[in-house]
Structure formats: C-alpha cells, structure tokens
Amino acid sequence: MFRETDEELAPPPSPLSRGRGGASWEAYLVPQDWTHFTAEEHGVWDTLFARQVPYLGTRIVSPFLDGIGKLGLDEAGIPNLDQLNARLEPLTGWRCVPVPGLVPDKAFFAMLAERRFPIGNFIRSADSLDYLEEPDCFHDIFGHVPLLAHEPVARLMQAMGRLGVEAVAVGLGETISRLYWHTVEFGLAREGGEVKILGAGLASSFGEAHFAIEADLPRPRFTLKDAAAAGYRSDAFQPLYFVSDSLEGVAAELEGLDLAGLRRLAA
C-alpha cells in the first residue's frame, strides 16, 4: 500500500473535491493519458520486468505468475489501463484506476471496497530503479494486479477495503494497516512445502525480494493476533516477514474478519 493519512496529504485539486464536505474516492482519480509516457519510461518498465520475473519464477506464489499471463502483463511497455481493465474486469470485477500519487487511507480503502485499485500514474526514473518515495505504476501494477485476477485475492482485497473503511472511521486504521502490510504488501506464504513471496512490496522490489527470501531474519508463522501486534517499516526493509500457511488460507482468514474481530485484535 504505501499510504498517507488524511492529515499528511491534502486531496489533489479537483472540482469534485470542492464544496462537498470532504472528497469522495473518485476525487483522487486522474486520466491515465497513456500516451504521455515516454519511450524511456516504457524502457524503465521493461528493465524492471526483465530483472524481476526470472527471480520470482520459482519464488512467488503460482497464481501471481498465472495472472501475469492472463492479463498480458508480459507485453512490452507500461500497460495501458484501458486494455488491462478489459482483461481484468471480466475475470474478477476489479478495475485499475489512475491516481497522481499517494491516496489517504480512507479513500484508499473506499476504492478497494468498490474493487477499484489505485495505480500511481508515473514510473521511477532510469537512474533510480531501486528508490521509491511513493508507489509508482510498476509497484502498483506489477506488484498488485496479477493477484487481483485470482478470485480468493479479489475477494480478500474487497473485504479489506470494506473493513478498512469501518476501521479508519473508528480509529482502528493502524490495526488494519498492519494486517494489510504483513500480508498483501510484505507477506510470505507456503506453497508446495516452500516459503514463497506473496506481497506486492516484495514482488515489485528486486532488493527486498532477495532479502525476504534469503536473509537471516525472523520469518514467524502468520497469525492475525501476531501480525496485528507487529509494527512495520515504510522507509526500510522489514525486520521480519510473516509466513502464512497458504495463500488461500490467509485470504479466507482476512476475508472473514469483521470489525468486532478487529477490535479484539487491537485490544
């Protein structure tokens, strides 16, 4: 995710956000205007893709790789979101929506609740392939969208959105964010007896994908209780990575969580 609080980021200027007593999530959308991406920027995507896929090949949960193929993400260049949505929406009802940058928690979760996934409408520069101040379209598309084509994750993400909206409203945003962070962004999961990459933050990061799999660090078994109690870093590699028993298992567990359950986890 990589998000900011409402206090830290004002909504971008938009006619929709004025005089309505607070912006709805639609106020954060911008046109993708795919033709604005330069040849160099498409080249950055291709470089990142070519670097990442060989490493992930045997180290990421298999529905991720299935999603790459189903969605045509192996085609050259930054994906055109209209074309990507034409493939994704018939599969699970999810659509990618362009945003200029970070989206506040409330709007972010509201988008997920509607099966809309925000895509940063820019890409990192060629001279800083490994440095990101905020999520770009490589993180958002390559990291997140393949699994949105997988129904258990499609349901989980919508459920997280619905619960996230409720959680933010009652002051439990940090707790839902921890669960999201330790699964959807930086989680690992067992598959075929091996520990595989699950999270988008790992899938889209060359350095942290290696680190999470290879480094000598704690990889505790994921439980809702332990993940809800564990902080996270948004400015550095994580100090630990939770390992879910399976992708389908953790998806079902998170999908089944309600506000009362979240309150118990936060207590």
Strand 188-191 versus strand 194-197 pairing type:
antiparallel
Quote the crossing angle between the two packed helices 206-214 and 39-56, to the nearest 10°: 10
Question: Exposed (0-12), middle (13-18) or buried (19+): which is 18, by Cβ within 10 Å?
Answer: exposed
Q: Min. distance of Cβ 247 from Fe ion in angstroms?
A: 17
DSSP state of 114: T
Span of 3-11, 194-202, 206-214, 224-232 interacting with Fe ion by CB under 5 A: 194-202
Choice among 41, 177, 204, 208 that is catalytic: 204
Note if 150 is an active site residue: no
Q: Min. distance of Cβ 143 from Fe ion in angstroms?
A: 6
Q: Min. distance of Cβ 194 from Fe ion in angstroms?
A: 24
Span of 4-12, 25-33, 195-203, 220-228 interacting with Fe ion by CB under 5 A: 195-203
Out of 107, 160, 200, 250, point to the residue binding Fe ion (CB under 5 A): 200
Q: Which residue lies nearer to Fe ion by CB, 23 or 102?
A: 102
Which structure tokens are listed for 240?
């630990």
Residues 6+ positions from 125 with CB-CB distance below 8 Å: 44
Out of 1, 99, 113, 167, point to the residue binding Fe ion (CB under 5 A): 1
Note if 185 is an active site residue: yes
Q: Which residue lies nearer to Fe ion by CB, 132 or 240?
A: 132
Choice among 139, 177, 208, 248 that is catalytic: 139
Residue 99's H or E segment, with its range, is strand 95-99
Q: Which residue lies nearer to Fe ion by CB, 22 or 207?
A: 207
How many amino acids of this chain bind Fe ion (CB under 5 A)?
2
Nearest to 184 by CA among 211, 212, 203: 203
Choice among 41, 144, 150, 244 that is catalytic: 144
Q: Which residue lies nearer to Fe ion by CB, 200 or 212?
A: 200
Q: What residues are paired with 189 via a beta bridge? A: 196, 244
Q: Min. distance of Cβ 185 from Fe ion in angstroms?
A: 5
257 lies in the binding site for Fe ion (CB under 5 A): no
Q: Are 109 and 160 in contact (CB under 8 A)?
A: yes
Q: How far apart are CA 111 and CA 114, in angstroms?
A: 5
Residues 6+ positions from 68 with CB-CB distance below 8 Å: 53, 74, 146
Q: Min. distance of Cβ 8 from Fe ion in angstroms?
A: 17
Nearest to 147 by CA among 254, 77, 251, 256: 251
Question: Exposed (0-12), middle (13-18) or buried (19+): which is 231, by Cβ within 10 Å?
Answer: exposed
Binding to Fe ion (CB under 5 A) within 71-100 occurs at none
Q: Which residue lies nearer to Fe ion by CB, 140 or 191?
A: 140
Q: Min. distance of Cβ 98 from Fe ion in angstroms?
A: 15
Q: Which residue lies nearer to Fe ion by CB, 32 or 177?
A: 177
Contact set with Fe ion (CB under 5 A): 1, 200
Which sequence positions are flagged as catalytic?
139, 144, 185, 204
